[in-house]
Amino acid sequence: MSLSEPNTHFSVFISGIIFGIIFFQSFISAPLIFKHIDKKNSSAYIRKVFPRIFLIIPLLSIISLVVSYFQLKFCSTELLIVCLTSIFLPLICYLLIPSTNKATDSGNSKKFKILHTVSVLLTFIVFLINIYWII
């Protein structure tokens, strides 16, 4: 990718937004919520925010892919990998949410830890691949 090509600017901008969303929620918002708000309210907040994040990221990636391909006539293999990763991995995380919540609610900490770890790892992959595209 070369940033001297104007066609890459839009997709880099979208990757920056995705990076920012994940960074803000994972390293600023969630830790502050868990530190300063009681468990009941912090859980309610997390259960409202993360599903939206796991849907916003794929939506942004679809927009990036569609605009880059159809309007800007640009779609490198790298961009395709970044977009497809940023579409499918958050959707997997979204699909894991009901099972993760059920494990939490039923006190099944082993199942929760597994599902949460999978979700964190998939989100981290999306985070890293979008950093790659930005750089």
- Distance between CA atoms of 85 and 111, rounded to whole angstroms? 25
Q: What is the SS3 assignment for 105-121?
A: HCCCHHHHHHHHHHHHH
Kindly list the domain boundaries of the chain, sorted by start residue. Answer: 7-88+126-134
- Distance between CA atoms of 122 and 135, rounded to whole angstroms? 20
pTM equals 0.89
- Distance between CA atoms of 82 and 17, rounded to whole angstroms? 13
pLDDT digits (tens, 9 = 90+) for 10-67: 899 999 999 999 999 999 999 999 999 998 999 999 999 999 999 999 999 999 999 8
* Burial per residue of 102-119, b for 16 or more beta-carbon CB atoms within 10 angstroms, e otherwise: ebbeeeeeeebeebeeeb
* 3 Cβ neighbours under 8 A, 6+ residues apart: 9, 12
Q: Is the CB of residue 34 less than 8 Å from the CB of residue 91?
A: no
Locate 73 and state its tokens: 């006539």
pLDDT digits (tens, 9 = 90+) for 55-109: 999 999 999 999 888 876 777 889 899 999 999 999 999 999 999 999 999 999 9
- Distance between CA atoms of 88 and 62, rounded to whole angstroms? 10
